[in-house]
Chains A and B, each alone.
Chain A
Amino acid sequence: MSQEQPKKVRSEFIYFAWRNVKLRIGVSILLAFVLFSIIGPFLAKHDPLEYVGPMGAPPSREYWFGTTTFGQDVFSQFAHGTRSTLLVGLLGGSIGTLVGILVGLIAGYRGGLVDEFLNMITNIILIIPTLAVLIIIAAYLSVRGIFMQSVFIGLTAWPWAARAIRAQTFSLRVREFVDLARMTGRSSLRIVFTEIAPNMMSYLLLVFILQFGGAVLNAATLDFIGLGPTKGTSLGLIMNNAVLWAALQLGQWWWLLPPGAAIAAIVGALYITNVGLDEIFNPKLREM
């Protein structure tokens, strides 16, 4: 009977995951957006930046989400924009998570001077107003792409993750199994990645989700104030243009609403997923 225990543990996880409404809602919304970001651009009949139709037309059979003041197809922009926004989230979130993990693990495990040094850097970046720095950097770069934007967002978002992971590492490194690995003569680096990190997997997943959401929001903010990618499109950029050309005042709700709602939905879904996962990983929060 005990032979099948690990399978049971896994199935218990799936059982609770499936029962968790928050997780189900969050993941469904996210999957829908991911799916849309993959097939959406193929459904779009027009180039997102070309002037293809009537100016400022409301949604119609030909232009599903209507057109901009200049006659660009909003649906095409929306499809491509969703793709690039998710890409920024993925890339920026990954970079933020990776740097956070690396700094947190090393600082937490080594302690002493290494920790003091890394902690100092973490604190410095933590107190610098991130958005201000991003604005300055963005303003200096004349040509900006999605990739550069993601990198900068990721490189400024890691400190809180590093701090949280450092605290976790601190509590794990005094556990007996780490001592046991040390008494096998294992190198510190191997101990960190083979003993400590795997124990934080669920936690690291939560960190990634929060970083993902943060990156999407940060990118949208930058785009919205006109410091987004100079070429291409994104949900934030659509909103930026819409506001710039007074879509709201002209009653062109179809230009502003879809990107705004999409950003809110993506970030909201990520947070709901996060809460749901937290409830599953943490048995104390499970509802029986």
Chain B
Amino acid sequence: MLQVENLTVYYKTIRGYVQALEKATFTIADGEIMGLAGESGCGKTTLGHSLIHLRPPMNYIEGRVVLDGREVPVWDMEQMQEFRYRHISLIPQYAMNALNPTRKIGKMIAELLESRGVNFDEVLPELKRRLDLVQLSHDVLKMYPIELSGGMKQRTVMVVSTLLNPSLLIADEITSALDVSTQKAVCEMLVEFRDQGFVKSTIIITHDISILYQIADSILVMYAGQLSEKAPTETIFQDPRHPYTKMLIGSLPKVGVRHQEERLLGIPGSPPRLLNPPAGCRFRERCPVAFDRCVEVPPFLEISPGHSVACWRAY
């Protein structure tokens, strides 16, 4: 179980702080797959990375992170060494293209495990079992990354990242570069890994909300560095309470909807810049139901079990 309280992370630039993540408070239960959705620049990647690797120019401002009852010192790069990979594992965007091309996959895994003080040979039987599970041949271990297709690389990366059964897996845009058929396989593996108990909680960061609809148990929607809404997936789609969530879901074309019959609407305007953002709710300027109260930051409150929202109109 992951608990995040008031986590605030800014980027330091020469013109001041970019307020990329403001007072994030949420929990992820054991066995929960949480989708993190939002537009580019909304802070979703910042949130994901700050839980594992908070490096300059990212600056920790305040907040705490508790994983399985243990405080995670996200502000301390050194102390985090113990958590990284073993307890919290991240699959970064483009990870599959970042594999060292001169190392065989097996050697690479061995080196990675050794750096964490784990004996490769002890883990090998489990590694092989998991390769079987994702339908990869054991020969992969003797191959170079270039010999694998995109989907195979992504599956390999997933197996490697979860080999030590981390409590939390953060998957950042792992499907965006894949074809639809491989995309589906990779998504279903995330579910399978959860079902098998390889990981306890999973955060899937993606801009593709339809993928979250398919596999996420809950969805956290972010806007301009603030949390807007978190709820079970069905609730986000059937009964969204934040105006941003409503408009976002409403703007998505679905197969079966044609513009002649049902004209979808986008959200006018664009997100505020996060360098000196306006006070209060940051969605205020684009929000059709904004009123004077919105100059105050709305708290992220639970309005029904598992459904939290930050909007003065929703409480």
Give the chain B neighbours of A288 by CB distance below 8 A.
Answer: 12, 56-57
Which residue of the partner chain A has the closest CB to B57?
A: A288
| B279, CB-defined interface residue at 8 Å | no
Determine which residue in B14, B57, B273 has the highest number of CB atoms from chain A within 10 A of its CB, and name it.
B14
What are the interface flags for B1-30 relative to A under an 8 Å C-beta threshold, 1 for contact and 0 otherwise? 000000000001011000000000000000
Which residue of the partner chain A has the closest CB to B273?
A: A1
Q: How large is the interface on B (under 10, 10 to 19, 20 to 34, 35 or more residues)?
A: under 10
Q: How large is the interface on A (under 10, 10 to 19, 20 to 34, 35 or more residues)?
A: under 10
- A contact patch SS: helix
Give the chain B neighbours of A15 by CB distance below 8 A.
Answer: 14
Give the chain A neighbours of B15 by CB distance below 8 A.
Answer: 8
In the complex, chain A residues 1-33 whose Cβ is within 8 Å of any chain B Cβ: 1, 8, 12, 15
Which residue of the partner chain B has the closest CB to A2?
A: B273
Give the chain A neighbours of B273 by CB distance below 8 A.
Answer: 1
Minimum C-beta distance from B137 to chain A (A): 37
Give the chain A neighbours of B14 by CB distance below 8 A.
Answer: 12, 15
Q: How far is the CA of A8 from the CA of B15 in the complex (A)?
A: 10
Q: How far is the CA of A12 from the CA of B15 in the complex (A)?
A: 10
Which residue of the partner chain A has the closest CB to B15?
A: A8
Q: How far is the CA of A12 from the CA of B273 in the complex (A)?
A: 18
Give the chain B neighbours of A8 by CB distance below 8 A.
Answer: 15
Minimum C-beta distance from B16 to chain A (A): 12
Which residue of the partner chain B has the closest CB to A16?
A: B14
Which residue of the partner chain A has the closest CB to B276?
A: A1
Q: How far is the CA of A15 from the CA of B12 in the complex (A)?
A: 16
Q: How far is the CA of A15 from the CA of B56 in the complex (A)?
A: 20
In the complex, chain B residues 39-81 whose Cβ is within 8 Å of any chain A Cβ: 56-57
Minimum C-beta distance from B58 to chain A (A): 12
Minimum C-beta distance from B130 to chain A (A): 36
Q: How far is the CA of A15 from the CA of B13 in the complex (A)?
A: 13
Which residue of the partner chain A has the closest CB to B56?
A: A288
Give the chain A neighbours of B12 by CB distance below 8 A.
Answer: 288
Minimum C-beta distance from A12 to chain B (A): 7
Minimum C-beta distance from B253 to chain A (A): 25
Minimum C-beta distance from B183 to chain A (A): 26
Q: How far is the CA of A80 from the CA of B136 in the complex (A)?
A: 75
Minimum C-beta distance from B202 to chain A (A): 32
Which residue of the partner chain B has the closest CB to A19?
A: B14
Q: How far is the CA of A8 from the CA of B56 in the complex (A)?
A: 23
Q: How far is the CA of A1 from the CA of B236 in the complex (A)?
A: 36
Minimum C-beta distance from A2 to chain B (A): 9
Give the chain B neighbours of A1 by CB distance below 8 A.
Answer: 273
Minimum C-beta distance from A182 to chain B (A): 28
Give the chain B neighbours of A12 by CB distance below 8 A.
Answer: 14
Q: How far is the CA of A1 from the CA of B15 in the complex (A)?
A: 13
Minimum C-beta distance from A14 to chain B (A): 12
Minimum C-beta distance from A8 to chain B (A): 8
Which residue of the partner chain A has the closest CB to B275?
A: A1
Minimum C-beta distance from B59 to chain A (A): 12
Q: How far is the CA of A288 from the CA of B15 in the complex (A)?
A: 12
Minimum C-beta distance from A179 to chain B (A): 23
Minimum C-beta distance from B55 to chain A (A): 12
Which residue of the partner chain A has the closest CB to B12?
A: A288
Give the chain A neighbours of B56 by CB distance below 8 A.
Answer: 288
Q: How far is the CA of A1 from the CA of B275 in the complex (A)?
A: 12
Which residue of the partner chain B has the closest CB to A286?
A: B14
Minimum C-beta distance from A18 to chain B (A): 12
Minimum C-beta distance from A117 to chain B (A): 34
A–B complex contacts, Cβ < 8 Å, 7 sampled = A1-B273, A8-B15, A12-B14, A15-B14, A288-B12, A288-B56, A288-B57
Q: Which 3 A-B pairs have the closest CB atoms?
A: A288-B57, A15-B14, A288-B56
Residues of B near any A CB (own CB < 8 A): 12, 14-15, 56-57, 273
Residues of A near any B CB (own CB < 8 A): 1, 8, 12, 15, 288
